[in-house]
Amino acid sequence: MTKILITPTAFSDGRGPWRTVLEQAGFEIVMPKVDATQLGPEALIDLVRGIDGVLASVELYSRQVLAASKLRCIARVGVGYDSIDVAAATDHGVAVAITPGTNHDSVAEQAIALITGIFRDLPARDHEIRQGQWRRNTVRRLAGNTLGLLGLGRIGKAIVPRAQGLGLKVIAYDPYPDRAFADQHGVRLMSLDGVLAAADIVSLHLPCTAETSDLINATSLKKMKRGAVLINTARGGLVDEPALAAALASGQLSAAGLDVFKTEPLSADSPLLKMNNVVLCPHMGGLDQTSLDAMSTLAAQCLVDLHRGHWPEGCIVNDQLRSGWKW
């Protein structure tokens, strides 16, 4: 029987619409007893031994892991795939599937929540009241500020009407911009440096690739307005965290809202933990119940379709495998 490993911790109870999809296809479901996202390569190799496909979280599929497995498909519950060595997966004939169009609204809401939380100083005020303090000094008004989106894909587009509804002006950089969308919604397209220089709030929505790794670094942070705010709900690898901490300490940035980090969970010795001008969340931007059900169902369907010889259009990262690929 075809064995499918389920690694997202959100599914550790074994329940969800994904289960129906997989069981109706006749797959054997394998639930791990450990958190796969925290495993090193040797332990992950042991976990995937005998497994045909994975309904995957963000565990690291390196060339070493892929070479030691008999995997045919890794179906990510989400749209990011930087935890998978795609070149190695292609070399070993492992299809890598993602779930586009399922979580953009959830990530957009998370980005807006971080922005409003920072501008209204909500985390600090909540903490102070619980400690018996009653501080009512003023905060900055959000409306009238300029939001700069680095990335105008599905998530960036979902943020635009939400941000404009809050009275924000929206500008954007994207290497392959949808100019029709920008024109329709009054989004000014600019260069990367142009957005960094003009925005009061910079929100990251680009994939993490070799070209974008540490895109936000000491140099780019200096190009931002003094006192600007950085929001990252994309990938931790986009940000040089020591440089960010330095910018927050110096006042070059007034605040940051971070949902993702280079190492997850965030290291206990990270200087970001000691900063009261940073709002932190545990990589939950894409996780509301609606999006989780949609992502997991589509990821499960990708596994089923591939097993039945049907190529899931728009979902396979290494599409070059299509010709001649078989389960």
Task: Tell me the catalytic residues.
Answer: 235, 264, 283
Q: Which two tokens stand for residue 215?
A: 């895109």
Angle at 174 between CA 172 and CA 178, to 5 degrees: 90
Residues 93, 327: Cα–Cα separation, whole Å: 9
User: Residue 4 CB: number of other CB atoms within 10 A?
Assistant: 24
Helix/strand/coil for 106 = helix
Q: Which two tokens stand for residue 115?
A: 């922005």
Q: At residue 285, what is the residue type?
A: G
Phi, psi for residue 14 in degrees, rounded to 5: 80, 10
User: Residue 151 CB: number of other CB atoms within 10 A?
Assistant: 22
Residue 173 exposure: Cα atoms within 13 Å on the Cβ side: 17
Residues 307, 174: Cα–Cα separation, whole Å: 36
* Number of helices (H), then strands (E), in the chain: 12, 12
Angle at 135 between CA 115 and CA 253, to 5 degrees: 35
Phi, psi for residue 65 in degrees, rounded to 5: -65, -45
Residues 203, 231: Cα–Cα separation, whole Å: 5
Residues 302, 298: Cα–Cα separation, whole Å: 6
